[in-house]
Amino acid sequence: MRQLETRHLAATLQEDKLAAHSIAVLPFLNLDTARPDNAFMLAIAHSLQANLSRLGPARVTAVFPANPFWSDTASVADMREANLSLHARTILTGSERLVKGKLRISMRLLSAATGDTLATKSMDMAPNGGVIGESAGGMLQPIYSALEATDWSAITIAGRDPGLRNQTAREFIISGRELMFRDSIEDLDRSLHCLEKAIELEPKSAIAHAYLSASAASRIHFQWDAQLLARAEREAKQALLLEPGLPDGHRSLAGVYFQTGRFEEALEEQFRAMETGGPEEHVASSLGETLERLGRPVRAIGWLEMARYWTSRPGAYDAFLGDCWIELGDGKEAENAYRRAMELRPGNSDGWVGLCHQRLLEGNSAAARQLCRENRDRSNRDKASDVFPDQMAAQIEFFTRNYPEAERLYRELNARDPSKGANFYGSVTYGSALGRLQQLEGQEVKGLTTLRRVRSEELSSPTSVHSGAALYRLAAVEYSLGNTAAGRDYLREAALHGWSDFRSPRLDPRFDAAARDPHFDQLLSNLGDKAFRDETANRPSR
The pLDDT tens digits of the residues spanning 398-425 come to 999 999 999 999 999 999 888 888 889 9
Cα–Cα–Cα angle for 399, 404, 409, rounded to 5 degrees: 75
Equal fold, 2-155 vs 313-418 = no
Tell me the C-alpha distance between 493 and 343, whole Å. 38
Res. 369: pLDDT tops 60: yes
- pLDDT tens digits, 67-113: 888 888 888 888 999 888 889 999 999 999 999 999 999 999 999 99
Tell me the C-alpha distance between 501 and 145, whole Å. 53
Nearest to 53 by CA among 93, 87, 18: 18
How is domain 2-155 classified at the CATH fold level?
Answer: Rossmann fold (3.40.50)
**By the 8 A CB rule, do 25 and 48 touch?**
yes
**Of 138-147, 181-190, 468-477, where does the model show the most confidence?**
468-477
Res. 132: pLDDT tops 90: no
Q: Which CATH class is domain 159-278?
A: mainly alpha
Give the model's pLDDT for residue 155: 85
Domain range annotation of the chain: 2-155, 159-278, 313-418, 424-542
Q: Which CATH class is domain 313-418?
A: mainly alpha
The predicted model scores a pTM of: 0.88
Q: Residues 322-345: what's their mean pLDDT?
A: 96
Give the number of other CB atoms < 10 A from CB of residue 98: 13
Give the model's pLDDT for residue 149: 87
Identify the band that residue 11 occupies on the pLDDT scale cut at 50, 70 and 90. very low
SS3 21: coil
